[in-house]
Amino acid sequence: MKTVDHIYINGSFIKPHGKEVLELVNPSTRAAIARVTLADEQDAQAAIAAAKAAYQSFSRTSKEQRMAYLQRLHDAVAARSEELLEVMIEEYGGPLRISKASTQRAADSFLQARELLKTFEFVQHVGISKVVLEPLGVVGLITPWNANYSFICSKLAMAVAAGSTAVIKPSELSALQTQLLTECLHAAGLPPGVINIVTGRGATVGAEMTRHPDIAKISFTGSTLVGKTIARGAVDTMKRVTLELGGKSPNLILDDADLATAIPLAVAAATVNSGQACMAGTRLIVPESRLDEVKRLATDAMQALRVGNPRDSATAIGPMVTQTQYDRVQGYIRLGIEEGAELLSGGPGHPAGLEDGYFVKPTVFANVTMDMRIAKEEIFGPVLVILSYKTEDEAIEMANDTIYGLHAFVSSSDLGRANRVAAQIVAGRVFINGMYDEPRAPFGGFKQSGIGREFGRYGLEAYLEPKAVMGHGETSNENTQ
């Protein structure tokens, strides 16, 4: 049993003022693995004060200095990647392949930010005006449990690149991962107060960050429900917000698609990160004329997914993160049956032999209609619903019939047609005929999937405020901007 009883403020590991102790279990076995002392409002205030003090000088650092810091952050995180991976599997239960990718992505995000800075101009010219892109102040970074390292690192990388100092509130369910990551970030040796990490509950630490006048921006990744709470709270001090929220992403299979490729891909897209992924393609929208073929292929692909020990490289689906998450997924599987959907594969309960952990059966429903809750609500587990359409227009309407707009997938053997359909889908990202990774491209949602974008140039600009200076007397380049 490990103990996490320190938080990180002003470059030091200190005992929190908070006294609540949370016990964490390994989701694969339900064995207790850690006791965590959670931070409280007072700890959040101390972290904000440290970040505010550090901001004075950090906001004036040169681009070159920050590029050097980003390199050091990368090196420090990459140096302990094996340990980070091990703790992610133990605490979160992420399958080996996705956990490796996530750990790698965390370290890489610092290099990507460094690369971006090479060509990013913080001073631009618009007519007679000099436009200076300034950091907007201390930022609060609030992250979920489903990819703890990479959310913390990608947000922190942009904050550092912009010249901001940060107060980070990771999920309380990721305390062991956060402790190790904090040791890495500390080893990078940034000035005290630039990075502060306070693991505590959302309703205490997160709420204090949201209302505190010395935080200028909150970058949040998590549920739409909490995102709305943060947006409401942030407005009193007119904080900027970047909100990366939930999704119920459509996967639109056009009638000319090669189903033998598209359907296994769709099952993979629905169950990525054990289905605990905001971008998961969980609504499969298929032509009615090919429904029987789709049902057969989807059932086969779902049943081929190995559920179990996340350390095994053949495992595709690990456990759900907690009992609460397990119950939530079970609840939706039962609901699908009650709503009259056709259960093709999976169903309630644990897979045989996996009763000890929070394992669920990867499940696929057919004969689903858009009025069913399993077609509308984010389940956040390996559950795929199949809807069918008669015309392409109907398919597009169905794809857009959601409060979300984070991600979408389109499959067709005619690329021109796929692009025309993609153009009509209201989503922040569309993948055509595959799964891709482009960390420089913007990531974020339309509608209730959030506000703003992360990653790359768009992500960096979200940490900056433009200041237009006129009458500056400098020679300007009239052609820029």
The residues annotated with a catalytic role in the active site are: 244, 278
Question: What string marks each residue from 108 to 147 as x (binds ligand NAD by CB under 6 A) or -?
Answer: ----------------------------------xxxxx-
**Residues 161 to 190 in contact with ligand NAD, rule: CB under 6 A:** 169, 171-172
The correct pick among 99, 148, 165, 210 for binding ligand NAD (CB under 6 A) is: 210
Q: How far is the CB of 118 from ligand NAD (least distance, A)?
A: 26
The correct pick among 245, 285, 320, 425 for binding ligand NAD (CB under 6 A) is: 245
Smaller CB separation from ligand NAD, 198 or 286 = 198
DSSP lists the bridge partners of residue 135 as: 464
Helix (H), strand (E) at residue 270: helix 259-271
**DSSP symbols for 282-339:** -EEEEEGGGHHHHHHHHHHHHHTS-BS-TTSTT--B---SSHHHHHHHHHHHHHHHHT
**DSSP symbols for 207-263:** HHHHH-TT--EEEEES-HHHHHHHHHHHGGGT-EEEEE-----EEEE-TTS-HHHHH
Q: How far is the CB of 170 from ligand NAD (least distance, A)?
A: 6
The correct pick among 16, 18, 163, 206 for binding ligand NAD (CB under 6 A) is: 206
The residue assigned the tokens 């049993």 is 1
Q: How far is the CB of 149 from ligand NAD (least distance, A)?
A: 13
The residue assigned the tokens 């064995």 is 31
* Inter-residue contact 131 to 466 (CB < 8 Å): yes
Options 37-45, 52-60, 77-85, 205-213: segment touching ligand NAD (CB under 6 A): 205-213
Q: How far is the CB of 250 from ligand NAD (least distance, A)?
A: 15
Sort strands 240-244 and 363-366 into parallel, antiparallel or unpaired.
unpaired
For residue 268, give both structure tokens: 């993979």
For residue 93, give both structure tokens: 């239960």
Q: Count other C-beta atoms under 10 Å from residue 441's C-beta.
A: 15
136: Cβ contacts below 8 Å, ≥ 6 apart? 162, 164, 216, 217, 240, 463, 464, 465
CA–CA dist 216, 459 (Å, integer) = 16
Question: What string marks each residue from 212 to 231 as x (binds ligand NAD by CB under 6 A) or -?
Answer: ---------xxx--x--xx-
**Residues 266 to 305 in contact with ligand NAD, rule: CB under 6 A:** 278
**Residues 369 to 398 in contact with ligand NAD, rule: CB under 6 A:** 378, 380
Q: How far is the CB of 146 from ligand NAD (least distance, A)?
A: 5
CA distances, 270 to each of 40, 238, 343, 365, 424 (Å): 36, 37, 16, 12, 21
Smaller CB separation from ligand NAD, 171 or 345 = 171
**Residues 426 to 455 in contact with ligand NAD, rule: CB under 6 A:** 450
Smaller CB separation from ligand NAD, 90 or 244 = 244
Q: How far is the CB of 172 from ligand NAD (least distance, A)?
A: 6
Summarize as ranges the residues that interact with ligand NAD (CB under 6 A).
Answer: 142-146, 169, 171-172, 201-203, 206-207, 210, 221-223, 226, 229-230, 244-247, 278, 378, 380, 406, 450
